[in-house]
Amino acid sequence: MEPQSFPPTLPWRQNAGHRAWLTGQAEALFRFFEPKSIDPKGGFAALDSRGEPIAAETARPLHATTRLVHCFAIGMLLGRPGAADFVDHGMKAILTKHRDDRLGGYFWSFDANGPVERDKLAYGHAFVLLAASSAKIVGHPDADRLLADISETLEGKFWEASPGATREEFREDWSLFSEYRGQNSNMHLTEALMAAFEATGERSYIDKAESIAALILGRNARTAGWRVPEHYHADWSVDAEYSGNVMFRPYGYTPGHALEWARLALQLWALGGRKLAWLPDASRNLFSQALAQGWDAVHGGLYYTTEYDGAPRVRDKLWWPVCEGIGAAHFLGALEGDAETERHYRRLWDFAARALIDARHGGWRPQLDDDLTPVERFFAGKPDLYHALQACLIPLYGTEGSLTKGIQTTQG
């Protein structure tokens, strides 16, 4: 049974005790990932539920490498000793293991013998841009080189000017192997483009981010009643029949992505000089719709996916939608200051503390079944620092930009 909500008093984001608790949770996450994540052979090891490397997981995917660079750049900004070693190790892996020196772009994964999955995916390339931008914020010597290379690759290979969004996937030789278009890669590219804008001041990045938001939110999510269609044909008409990888491209709606967009929309509104005046309203609608249809009122947590009519489809509860809901609630709470958003913020953290945070072994449990029993269906072990770390730290900083920029500004 989900606990009762009490009327909010002082918002938790302003409560000194809650802020100290968030700092402690971020510290615990760093402590879980630091001891065994670096693989001397290159990249970062996948960790099991106790923080030990998973021997069978030898391929190092691009999104995992780049996200840890971003997270430990945050650690550097927080003055965390040793964080620079992680950034340097990850940057080396991106440039010498993932990068295709012959044809350009970045392979999806590698192992000790070289590239494994040689496809070049927009999703992974978006995170290369995020890693490069975060590395530039902390002054890594290879950041400018990586930022220039990934920006050229995105512009020359992935970007489609007519819809104002990115193509999805190429073979090693840059031949298209499908006409699929997806919102997930474009959403993360929006996040990365904003980070690149903050790191460089170049307006072209924010222009692209606004173009993607206009397509995904202003046209398609608005038409769908402020739910976010995931899958598209080449002409960006919705492909309601598509069903792909259950983790990255599941059938139906994904409430967690609507919550992620709710935060990114407000960040984009602020960074773009409040030019797109409809973004705050989009954020409110995305947030309320995702919680109305995605929240399990009996057990708590967010269903991973829903049918197109709003009924639960994949009833498992993953950690990252809760993390994104926390970030969205913080951004909306700072904008609105209303009691209802504060109740949602507290409810999300109550669920995370009760069901997701592993106080015994460290880290966050990534997946729970319908009755909140931990399961390993989509993942092995504890696969990710990125979502949980940002959930802990975003509420400690302002809402005028990204977390990295907020920390940098605060730290002076």
Phi, psi at 82, each rounded to 5°: 90, -15
Q: What is the DSSP letter of 220?
A: I
SS3 label, residue 23 = helix
8 A C-beta contact, residue 274 and residue 286: no
User: Which position among 63, 125, 188, 257 bears the catalytic label?
Assistant: 257
In the structure, how many helices (H) and strands (E) does the chain have?
14, 11
Q: 110 forms bridges with which residues in the sheet?
A: 60, 115
98 catalytic, yes or no?
no
User: Which position among 98, 125, 344, 387 bears the catalytic label?
Assistant: 387
| Whole-number Å distance between alpha carbons of 387 and 157 | 28
Residue with tokens 């059938």: 251
Phi, psi at 302, each rounded to 5°: -110, 130
Burial string for 274-313 (b: 16+ CB within 10 Å, else e) reads: eebeebbebbbbbbbbbbebbbbeebbbbbbbbeeebebb
**Secondary element (H or E) of residue 170:** strand 169-170
| Whole-number Å distance between alpha carbons of 53 and 169 | 30
387 catalytic, yes or no?
yes
| Whole-number Å distance between alpha carbons of 45 and 186 | 27
8 A C-beta contact, residue 191 and residue 212: no
8 A C-beta contact, residue 94 and residue 147: no
Under 8 Å CB-to-CB from 141, ≥6 apart: which residues? none
What is the DSSP secondary-structure string of 352-376? IIIIIB-TTT-SB--EE-TT--B--
SS3 label, residue 342 = helix
> Nearest-CA neighbor of 379 among 281, 248, 291?
248
Catalytic residue numbers read 257, 387
